[in-house]
């Protein structure tokens, strides 16, 4: 398992594009928003939590089709399926590697971009907390979408369409935590819900992903 | 369904599972379909005409209230169609009856049209009543999400060539999607308090809507249910025949 994790990380690092792509996209979204909605700082600070969450989600979505596609093409997935490691665990590791290469940089970069959007001071802590709690769910759900569409040629659009409604609850609660944190309200309820979603999908989603991938590898 | 399985079976014509045999299913659906078409046409005709022309205008909403005869039944069927797809997917995953998978496939476009009817009639009603075509109300938003689920489900069916693979993958998607649809419903409720009125119909209330509106509504709902069943049976039959034609063509090509 550790070897697989290290391999995926090394591949993501060496492949160049993949690692920075999500981060660059996140940067582009947040930098372009003020040009789109105008530079009023009170408006920006009000929508900042939502924009940052949305940017993170889109950046995550962007990198999903690479999650399994490369391993599918060169046949590594077949090897993984026949290895003693359960496919569920292998997919979980893949999701973790995806989170480390995509989600974690987003979490770390979010406060910097929050400064650009004039995020209120108390919001920074909860923005980082909500992203740190929520982005693993995005990776795990995305892994399911990738497993469903891995056999489809040019499945990127289909993958986005399938994953889009699945991301809604995570986005709602995540953005709600960040928003409430920014205006100084109590964040406990949405934060607990967000954590619940993340824990739930981590516990259950690998089984669905593995079931889908087994069908595709048949 | 292999050919080698030729044990003399005890006769159980009453079992629900016997309709997993495509031949039996087709024979049955051909027998009941004419009746279903006629019944649903009668129910829809009676319900809609009664509702549109022989009920009084509401004292606050005027004649716009009459869109309820399209809106409520289609919304009901939009959810029930997904539920039916969920049950059919489960049957496919557990018992591997092809008819079940094809029925789920056949129900999806009907369901998406029902969702669309509910959304459009709601918008038409909402414009004069709420002063807006669209509001990010929990119910409206949930239906939009349901619509996206339908689109994704249909797109996945279309994208995969091998029918068994497609059936498996869409079934898994339907299961996961159902869990997330319920989750979204609660998330959306939490996210925004609604503009939409409460449930028009429920089983545990004395009176839901005034009786003058209630009875034609029940007839219209019966019409929509019958229409849905008829459409799904018909479309499932079409899918079975498409499958057969492909099999015949493949056999032709081999010889």
Closest CA to B116 of B75, B64, B155: B75
For chain A, say whether B188 makes contact (Cβ under 8 Å).
Answer: yes
CA distance B27 to A90: 47
Alpha-carbon gap, residue A19 to B149, rounded angstroms: 30
Cβ pair B192, B137 in contact under 8 A? yes
ipTM: 0.85
Average pLDDT, chain A: 86
- How many C-beta atoms lie closer than 10 Å to residue A202's C-beta? 16
Which residue in B152, B171, B181 has the most chain A C-beta atoms within 10 A of its own C-beta, making it the best mutation to test that interface? B152
Identify the bridge partners of residue B58 per DSSP, sorted by sequence position: B62
Residue of A nearest to B165 (CA): A215
Decide: helix, strand or coil at residue B34: helix
| C-alpha atoms less than 13 angstroms from C-alpha of A31 in its C-beta half-sphere | 8
**What confidence score (pLDDT) does residue B208 get?**
59
- The pair of three-digit structure tokens given for residue B70, joined into one six-digit string: 């399209």
State how far the alpha carbon of B161 is from the alpha carbons of A17, B8, B81, B167, in Å. Answer: 31, 36, 24, 10
- Residue B80: other Cβ atoms inside 10 A: 16
Find, in chain A, the residue whose alpha carbon is nearest to that of B169.
A212
Instruction: Give residue-wise pLDDT tens across range A141-166.
Output: 999 999 998 888 777 888 988 999 99
Distance CA A43, CA A122 (A): 17
Residues from chain A contacting residue B143 (CB–CB below 8 Å):
none
What is the residue-level pLDDT of chain B in tens, covering all 255 positions? 444 455 555 555 567 787 778 888 888 888 899 999 999 999 999 988 888 888 777 766 667 777 888 888 999 999 999 999 999 999 999 988 888 899 999 999 999 999 999 999 988 888 887 778 888 888 888 899 999 999 999 999 988 888 888 899 999 999 999 998 888 888 887 777 666 666 666 655 555 566 677 788 888 999 999 999 999 999 999 999 998 999 899 899 887
Q: How far is CA A49 from the centre of its chain?
A: 16
Instruction: Give the C-alpha separation, B61 to B208, whole Å.
Output: 17
B156 interfaces chain A, CB cutoff of 8 Å: yes
Is the minimum CB–CB distance between B143 and chain A shorter than 8 Å?
A: no
CA distance A200 to chain B (A): 11
Query: Is the separation of the CB atoms in B185 and B2 below 8 Å?
Result: no
- Pick A165's closest partner by Cβ from B148, B155, B160: B148
* Secondary structure (3-state) at A139: helix
- Our CA-based measurement puts residue B179 at a distance from the nearest CA of chain A, in whole angstroms, of 9
Contact assignment for B155 to A161 by CB distance below 8 Å = yes
This prediction has a pTM of: 0.86
Greatest alpha-carbon pair distance for chain B in Å reads 72
In the three-class reduction of DSSP (H, G, I as helix; E, B as strand; rest coil), residue B62 is classed as strand
Residue of A nearest to B152 (CA): A162
Round to whole Å and give the CA distance between B80 and B202. 15
Cα–Cα distance between A145 and A148 in angstroms, integer?
A: 5
Q: Which residue has the tokens 């999806």?
A: B108
Maximum distance among all alpha carbons in chain A? 57
């Amino acid at each position: 398992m550790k070897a697989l994790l290290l391999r995926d990380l090394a591949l993501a690092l060496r492949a160049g594009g993949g690692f920075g792509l999500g981060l660059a996209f996140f940067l582009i979204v947040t930098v372009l928003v003020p040009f789109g909605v105008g530079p009023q700082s009170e408006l920006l600070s009000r929508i900042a939590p939502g924009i940052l969450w949305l940017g993170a989600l889109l950046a995550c979505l962007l990198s999903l089709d690479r999650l399994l596609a490369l391993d599918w093409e060169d046949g590594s997935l077949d090897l993984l399926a026949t290895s003693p490691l359960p496919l569920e665990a292998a997919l979980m590791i893949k999701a973790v590697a995806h989170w480390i290469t995509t989600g974690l940089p987003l979490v770390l970069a979010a406060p910097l971009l929050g400064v650009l959007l004039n995020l209120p001071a108390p919001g920074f802590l909860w923005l980082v907390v909500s992203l740190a709690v929520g982005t693993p769910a995005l990776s795990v759900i995305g892994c399911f979408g990738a497993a469903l569409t891995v056999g489809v040629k040019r499945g990127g659009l289909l993958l986005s369409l399938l994953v889009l409604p699945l991301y809604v609850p995570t986005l709602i609660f995540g953005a709600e935590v960040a928003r409430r944190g920014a205006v100084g309200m109590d964040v406990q309820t949405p934060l607990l819900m967000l954590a619940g979603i993340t824990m739930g999908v981590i516990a259950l989603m690998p089984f669905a992903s593995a079931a889908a991938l087994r069908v595709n590898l048949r | 369904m292999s050919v080698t399985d030729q044990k003399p079976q005890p006769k159980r014509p009453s079992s629900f599972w016997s309709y997993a045999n495509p031949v039996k299913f087709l024979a049955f659906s051909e027998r009941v379909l004419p009746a279903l078409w006629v019944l649903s046409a009668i129910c829809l005709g009676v319900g809609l005409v009664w509702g549109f022309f022989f009920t009084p205008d509401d004292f606050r909403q005027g004649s716009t209230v009459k869109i309820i005869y399209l809106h409520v039944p289609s919304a009901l069927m939009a959810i029930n169609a997904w539920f039916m797809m969920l049950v059919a997917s489960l049957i496919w995953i557990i018992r591997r009856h092809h008819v079940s998978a094809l029925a789920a496939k056949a129900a999806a476009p009907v369901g998406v049209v029902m969702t669309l009817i509910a959304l459009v009639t709601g918008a038409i009603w909402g414009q004069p009543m709420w002063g807006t075509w669209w509001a990010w109300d929990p119910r409206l938003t949930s239906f939009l999400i349901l619509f996206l689920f339908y689109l994704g489900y249909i797109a996945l069916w279309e994208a995969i060539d091998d029918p068994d693979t497609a059936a498996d993958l869409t079934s898994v998607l339907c299961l996961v999607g159902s869990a997330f649809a319920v989750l979204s419903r609660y998330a959306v409720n939490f996210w925004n308090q609604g503009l939409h009125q409460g449930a028009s119909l429920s089983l545990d209330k004395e009176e839901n809507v005034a009786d003058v509106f209630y009875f034609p509504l029940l007839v219209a709902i019966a019409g929509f249910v019958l229409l849905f069943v008829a459409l799904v049976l018909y479309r499932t039959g079409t899918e079975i025949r498409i499958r057969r034609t492909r099999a015949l063509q493949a056999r032709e090509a081999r010889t």
